[in-house]
Chains A and B, each alone.
Chain A
Amino acid sequence: MTGSKPLHSVVCIKQVPDSAQIRVHPVTNTIMRQGVPTIINPFDLFALEEALRLRDRLGGSVTVLCMGPMTAEDSLRKALTFGADRAVLLSDRYFAGSDTLATSYALSMALEQIGRTFGTPDVVFTGKQTIDGDTAQVGPGIARRLGYNQLTYISKIRELDPAAGVLTVERRAEGGTQVLETRLPVLITMLEGTNEMRRGGIDTALAAAKAEVTIWNAAAVGIEDLTRCGLRGSPTIVKKVFAPSARSEKAVMIPVEGTPYESARAVIEAMFARLPDVEAQLLETAAQSAY
């Protein structure tokens, strides 16, 4: 499929709020977004590092792609300082309110435009999921739309032969690791903790500062039917956002009196009063292990 051309990887990244925990106003129950700094979704860094390693090993180039508001350019510049070769920002008000289906549509159109402009991607990477949406659905969505072989939860790329277009990977599955062989092009969602993000060098930082981020809107990537984008292109509708109510039965608070040991005994007393069978089981286990 790729012949002898150099490997082109594209890493899809998302800019997310730095704190996984967005604060909620205690009185109004609205989200307090003011002053929350943004970062590259941490899971995406494992994808970026893996793409950079492939390039270091096999040659070729790494493009980073981000869909988001214009301020997401910061995250793309950060990716460039780690050593990505070029950056593309996909930004348009028509994308606002996209669910995962509409997001994978816009991104797959951008990936096709990247193919026409910079060369067809052989490997598209995403993180396992984002820390704000946590759905893990956009990667599979892109794979399906582009017709790429879908490889989720990849812990290791064992071998990749760009000339033959063949790769072998390790995939995290229930109770073990699947070893899969497949063909390029592929979409890989990278498992966390599988590599460690490099520190960018001074030279890459300087190059990144001068690099130009390509900015495309819907029209620039060939999207003609805007009803497939944003809220209108999203089959899911968020009808209600709310804070859960407290349990009707309040927690029984153990008073703190005396030493920590005395407090501990009071906690244990209350705990086992509710779970006599658990205590009985523990006593039985203790008795068995003693003899």
Chain B
Amino acid sequence: MADTAKPAAAKANAGSRAGTKKELPDHFKAYRHVWVAVEIEHGQVHSVSFELLGEGRKLADKRGVELGAVVMGDDRAALDAAAAQCFEYGADVVYVVEDPALAHYRNETSTSVLTHLVETYKPEILLLGATNLGRDLAGAVATTLRTGLTADCTELAIDEEGSLAATRPTFGGSLLCTIFTLNFRPQMATVRPRVMPMPARQEGRTGRIVEYAPAIVEADIVTKVLDFLADRDSDKANLPYADIVVAGGLGLRSAENFQLVRKLAEVLGAEYGGSRPLVQKGWITADRQIGQTGKTIRPRLYIAAGISGAIQHRVGVEGADVIVAINTDPAAPIFEFAHLGIVADAVTLLPALTEALAARLRVNRLAS
């Protein structure tokens, strides 16, 4: 990612360097195949890893190479189950790394394992989920390998020579940019959960397993995991996987008016959230932020009330089947990607929607 502290300079430089595609240094020419570093916590594969396998499959097919998945852990049964799932979601090869020291994620151990595998098997592309775990690991691995890493990609493409075009929002989410790592391998990228669609599962599909036993000496590892405090279920906002989401923006004008969003969400049995400025103002907590730097959602129905629709918000909601936008400004960018729009004050329309919906659900239930 170019240094966005100097956007104007970055843009000018990007232009002047656009044609500087040098030949890949010889020692990188052996790098082939597309890899996904699979995220397993508490025995479960994070669904972002399957989403990445779906995307990785497309890249590997375009390039005519294998799709590899790396799974790490201490529990044989969980690793076997994870490997089987990776095959069903598109992997050709699964690198299974088993060691008691890998019972919990630790940067130190995972970085050394993944770096070793990359140096041994030389993938040209390495994808990770842009979760806390994936970002922690990707940053350390890319620095160790002295290669390029592009965070939070919203689109991945590949050319005939195997150059990865990684597109992501930039300048605080007001524009998109396409980033290449031309002269280094592997080309690394992270993608947030739900940005890519879940691929179809091909039951019974299998592949090759490559075992790696790193023989980690626990005494050599500085960092110890003393405990894991699981979140209480009631604390969890499950925005990424919700079927219906209602969200508010600055158009609500006050924190009190945000209640109107919650009331509509309640009638719809929906999750609720808001745009980034609301988190900055303290109207909502960070885990309810929708957009590139918050949660990416893919609901059937998304209602955006008083949200202008900046690019960083747009990339977080574009996967919704139907987007309904309410905004007083007919020129608001949200109307450029919404399916249904109404030029209205959300503060007036939201209670009307809540009331009309409650009535409709009541009436139709009686009728049926």
| Residue ranges of A at the interface with B (Cβ–Cβ < 8 Å) | 14-17, 19-24, 29-31, 33, 42, 68-69, 96-104, 129-141, 143-145, 149-150, 152-153, 168, 170, 172-183, 192-193, 231, 234-244, 246-247, 249, 251-254, 256, 259-261, 263-268, 270-271, 274-275, 277-278, 281-283, 285-287, 290
Residues on A with beta carbons closer than 8 Å to the beta carbon of B314 = 244
Are B132 and A173 in contact (CB-based, < 8 A)?
yes
Are A137 and B142 in contact (CB-based, < 8 A)?
yes
Residue of A nearest to B270 (CB): A282
Residues on A with beta carbons closer than 8 Å to the beta carbon of B180 = 236-237, 239
CA A266 to CA B341, docked complex, whole Å? 11
Are A251 and B175 in contact (CB-based, < 8 A)?
no
Residue of B nearest to A256 (CB): B344
Residue of B nearest to A284 (CB): B365
- Least Cβ–Cβ distance between B235 and chain A, in angstroms: 10
Residues on A with beta carbons closer than 8 Å to the beta carbon of B326 = 267
Are A267 and B132 in contact (CB-based, < 8 A)?
no
Are A267 and B131 in contact (CB-based, < 8 A)?
no
B339 at the interface (CB under 8 A from A): yes
Residues on A with beta carbons closer than 8 Å to the beta carbon of B268 = 282
Are A264 and B8 in contact (CB-based, < 8 A)?
no
Residues on B with beta carbons closer than 8 Å to the beta carbon of A287 = 365, 368
- Least Cβ–Cβ distance between B11 and chain A, in angstroms: 5
Q: Number of B interface residues at 8 Å Cβ cutoff, please give it.
A: 117
Residues on A with beta carbons closer than 8 Å to the beta carbon of B348 = 260
Q: A31-B7, A283-B365 known; A252 and B355 CB under 8 Å?
A: no
Instruction: Give residues of chain B (195-215) contacting chain A, Cβ–Cβ below 8 Å.
Output: none
CA A96 to CA B16, docked complex, whole Å? 14
CA A286 to CA B349, docked complex, whole Å? 22
Residues on A with beta carbons closer than 8 Å to the beta carbon of B349 = 260, 263-264, 267
B234 at the interface (CB under 8 A from A): no
Contact for B324 among A130, A153, A267, CB less than 8 A: A267
B24 at the interface (CB under 8 A from A): no
- Least Cβ–Cβ distance between B42 and chain A, in angstroms: 7
Are B269 and A285 in contact (CB-based, < 8 A)?
yes
Are A246 and B341 in contact (CB-based, < 8 A)?
no
Are A231 and B340 in contact (CB-based, < 8 A)?
no
Are B336 and A247 in contact (CB-based, < 8 A)?
yes
Residues on A with beta carbons closer than 8 Å to the beta carbon of B36 = none
